[in-house]
Amino acid sequence: DQQVKQNSPSLSVQEGRISILNCDYTNSMFDYFLWYKKYPAEGPTFLISISSIKDKNEDGRFTVFLNKSAKHLSLHIVPSQPGDSAVYFCAASWRNNAGNMLTFGGGTRLMVKP
């Protein structure tokens, strides 16, 4: 059973507009959430994160919102640029016997059209 879900496999946005990528999770033990960006033929690169004690974290054009009651987080990119076109993975961190582990969603492919 997937504990982190990205229900939209793809999203298309016009350059300059806002991109909103969504992520839902089921495990209330997750205490830290991250977004990664992945270009084809490359590994994922860390983008932005948020602790479960916060509801918003902003870094330049990227803002992550966390709604714990809804077990939902979202990544906002504004304004969107063609170079933002990539696959975005949501990840959630929780602690088990081995330490803090990350569970990833299936990814959303963002296409920003010029």
Partner 1 sequence: ETGVTQTPRHLVMGMTNKKSLKCEQHLGHNAMYWYKQSAKKPLELMFVYNFKEQTENNSVPSRFSPECPNSSHLFLHLHTLQPEDSALYLCASSQATGLSGNTIYFGEGSWLTVV
Task: List residues binding partner 1 (CB under 8 A).
Answer: 2, 4, 31-32, 34, 36, 41-46, 49, 51, 89, 93, 95, 97-107
Residue number with CB closer to partner 1 (21 or 80): 21
**Cβ at position 60, least distance to partner 1 in Å:** 17
Q: How far is the CB of 77 from partner 1 (least distance, A)?
A: 19
- To partner 1, the closest distance from the beta carbon of 48 in angstroms equals 10
Strand arrangement, sheet containing 56-59:
4-5, 19-25, 72-77, 62-67, 56-59
Q: Is the peptide bond before 79 cis (omega within 30 degrees of 0)?
A: yes
Q: Are 11 and 22 in contact (CB under 8 A)?
A: no
The Cα–Cα gap between 96 and 59 comes to 29
* 11 or 78: CB nearest partner 1: 11
> Considering only CA atoms, which of 48, 12, 22 is closest in space to residue 107?
22
Give whichever of 78 and 111 is closer to partner 1, judged by the CB atom: 111
Of 5 and 76, which CB lies nearer to partner 1 in the complex structure? Answer: 5
Which two tokens mark 95? Answer: 């602690």
* Residue 97 CB, nearest approach to partner 1 (Å): 8
